[in-house]
């Protein structure tokens, strides 16, 4: 190690910043987050620094640096563009054994300002020893995307129960096992979901009866339209901590690559007239697995509440008292249209948008055609490829123009993304003659004309 990592308590202690420019302002902001008493010295401080002084948050001394300024300081930062002054401040601090940092000058520093992930009281510091600060910031960005902000609240909760846990478990191994269960179980999930009071109750119950078997939880997660980069942070976190993954055929291989490696995978995909597991069976399986204490991720393509039967599944969970969470996903309509360069709404072409299923529960396609066949509206049909002839006939029958633009988007947002554009009248012929396969969305509306100008993702067709 080039530097020994250490955290210093500077609460209500005097820290000196030499320089009052934009860089100094950023350093001052970090010191204030640690509740330091900041003194800034600069004869020409920037507006941001002066604003902090005007608000009484720092002490600004508007003059040049003097040797006596280092007296009684516990930490010094020099952030000026004067190399001689920076070197002087560094030497004085070293002689007085005061920790000093000179911005962008590692050789003059006794400590390095790291990139910080702040989930107070959890704080993560990343340093490249001054060799590659941009790389350190990129690593911080990756950590920011995977560590929930509520980890700080979870740490606070743990701190409040620490003495009770120590009294309950005299053996350090027992204590460690207990905390591992807490930090990876339902208590943590309730904190992450904002249910801190409920988490406290569960925590107390686990302490009162540590032998009690914990009921599992179900995560109803939207896997989006296929591109793994479109997953939410929360979806990714739950996917990677679930013991069991129930997934359907619309979840892309790329998304499945991100689930926990040792999780049990159960395929429950459904195609038209070919259900690997009936919906009632899926509902009951979720209940049974959760009652065994398993953390279950029900992973669905798109959004679970948009033609995903998510409502049916959580109805069953609620009836059986199973805790659950629902994580929205980018629905296929939004993902496929965006990646095709087709805005769903546009001031000149469409002031409303309808999401419609082309496959009702009874197997019919009995839709409110008169409400759909109107101008200035975009219609997105899910699961309607086999019913293309019927929807074309009905929309035209109820007054929609046969030359209304139509797009068919197959496997949208994935590497196999393909788009066909046609008209409503020609739609059945295109479906019959082109190698179009499910999953395919059908978009009807004047907005389809914008694809020629706005197509940014796929230029092959």
- 306 a known binding residue? yes
Task: Render 224-247 in DSSP notation, one character per residue.
Answer: BSS-GGGS-HHHHHHHHH-SEEEE
Q: How far apart are CA 119 and CA 328, in angstroms?
A: 24
Q: Are 382 and 391 in contact (CB under 8 A)?
A: no
- 124 a known binding residue? no
Q: How far apart are CA 251 and CA 404, in angstroms?
A: 31
- 43 a known binding residue? yes
- Per annotation, catalytic residue among 57, 200, 234, 270: 270
Active site residue 270: yes
Phi and psi at residue 224, to the nearest 5°: 75, -175
Q: CA 174, 179, 183 angle in degrees (round to 5)?
A: 155
Pairing assessment for the beta strands 115-119 and 122-126 based on DSSP bridges: antiparallel
Quick one: tokens of 21? 């420019």
- 22 a known binding residue? yes
Q: CA 438, 443, 445 angle in degrees (round to 5)?
A: 165
- 302 a known binding residue? yes
- 331 a known binding residue? yes
What single-letter DSSP state applies at residue 106?
G
Q: Are 342 and 443 in contact (CB under 8 A)?
A: yes
What single-letter DSSP state applies at residue 108?
G
Q: How far apart are CA 302 and CA 255, in angstroms?
A: 11
- 53 a known binding residue? no
Q: Are 143 and 132 in contact (CB under 8 A)?
A: no
- 358 a known binding residue? no
- 136 a known binding residue? no
**C-alpha distances out from residue 8 to 3, 5, 111, 218, Å:** 14, 10, 11, 41
Q: Are 347 and 394 in contact (CB under 8 A)?
A: no
Q: How far apart are CA 434 and CA 6, in angstroms?
A: 64
- 303 a known binding residue? yes
Pairing assessment for the beta strands 405-410 and 418-423 based on DSSP bridges: antiparallel
Active site residue 27: no
- 269 a known binding residue? no
- 194 a known binding residue? no
Task: Render 255-292 in DSSP notation, one character per residue.
Answer: HHTTS-TTSEEEE--EETTEESS-HHHHHHHHHHHHHT
Quick one: tokens of 120? 């107070």
Q: Are 102 and 108 in contact (CB under 8 A)?
A: yes
- Per annotation, catalytic residue among 202, 248, 300, 394: 248
* CA nearest neighbour of 380 among 338, 413, 327: 338
Q: Which residues are catalytic?
A: 248, 270
Binding site, annotated residues for NAD(+): 22-23, 43-44
Binding site, annotated residues for S-adenosyl-L-methionine: 225, 301-303, 306, 331-332, 383, 412
Binding site, annotated residues: 22-23, 43-44, 225, 301-303, 306, 331-332, 383, 412
């Amino acid at each position: 190690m080039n530097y020994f990592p250490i955290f210093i308590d500077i609460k209500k202690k005097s820290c000196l910043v030499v320089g009052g420019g934009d860089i100094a302002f950023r350093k001052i902001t970090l010191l204030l987050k640690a509740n330091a008493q900041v003194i800034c010295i600069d004869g020409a401080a920037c507006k941001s620094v002066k604003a902090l002084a005007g608000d009484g948050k720092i002490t600004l001394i508007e003059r040049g640096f003097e040797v006596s300024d280092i007296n009684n300081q516990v930490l010094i930062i020099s952030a000026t563009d004067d190399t001689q002054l920076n070197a002087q401040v560094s030497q004085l601090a070293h002689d007085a054994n005061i920790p000093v940092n000179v911005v962008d000058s590692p050789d003059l520093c006794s400590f390095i300002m790291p990139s910080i992930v702040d989930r107070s009281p959890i704080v993560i510091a990343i340093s490249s020893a001054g060799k590659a600060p941009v790389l350190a910031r990129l690593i911080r960005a990756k950590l920011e995307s995977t560590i929930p902000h509520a980890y700080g609240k979870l740490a606070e909760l743990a701190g409040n129960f620490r003495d009770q846990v120590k009294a309950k478990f005299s053996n350090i191994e027992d204590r460690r096992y207990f905390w591992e269960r807490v930090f990876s179980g339902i208590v943590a999930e309730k904190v992450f979901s904002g249910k801190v009071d409920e988490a406290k109750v569960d925590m107390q119950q686990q302490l009162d009866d540590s032998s009690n078997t914990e009921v599992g939880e179900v995560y109803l997660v939207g896997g989006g339209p296929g591109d793994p980069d479109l997953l939410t942070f929360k979806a990714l976190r739950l996917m990677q901590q679930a013991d069991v993954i129930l997934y359907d055929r619309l979840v892309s291989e790329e998304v499945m690559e991100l689930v926990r490696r040792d999780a049990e995978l159960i395929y429950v995909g459904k195609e038209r007239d070919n259900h690997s597991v009936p919906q009632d069976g899926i509902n009951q399986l979720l209940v049974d697995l959760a009652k065994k204490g398993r953390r279950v991720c029900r992973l669905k393509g798109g959004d679970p509440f948009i033609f995903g039967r998510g409502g049916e599944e959580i109805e069953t969970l609620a009836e059986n008292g199973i805790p659950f969470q629902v994580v929205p996903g980018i629905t296929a309509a939004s993902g496929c249209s965006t990646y095709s360069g087709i805005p769903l709404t546009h001031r000149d072409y469409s002031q409303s948008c309808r999401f419609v299923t082309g496959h009702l529960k009874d197997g019919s396609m009995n839709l409110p055609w008169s409400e759909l066949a109107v101008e200035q509206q975009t219609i997105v049909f899910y699961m309607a490829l086999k019913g293309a002839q019927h929807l074309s006939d009905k929309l035209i029958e109820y007054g929609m123009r046969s030359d209304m633009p139509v797009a068919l988007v197959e496997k949208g947002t994935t590497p196999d993304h393909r788009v066909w554009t046609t008209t409503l009248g020609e739609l059945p012929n295109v479906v019959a003659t082109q190698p179009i396969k499910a999953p395919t969305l059908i978009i009807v509306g004047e907005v389809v004309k914008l694809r020629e100008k706005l197509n940014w993702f796929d230029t092959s067709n």
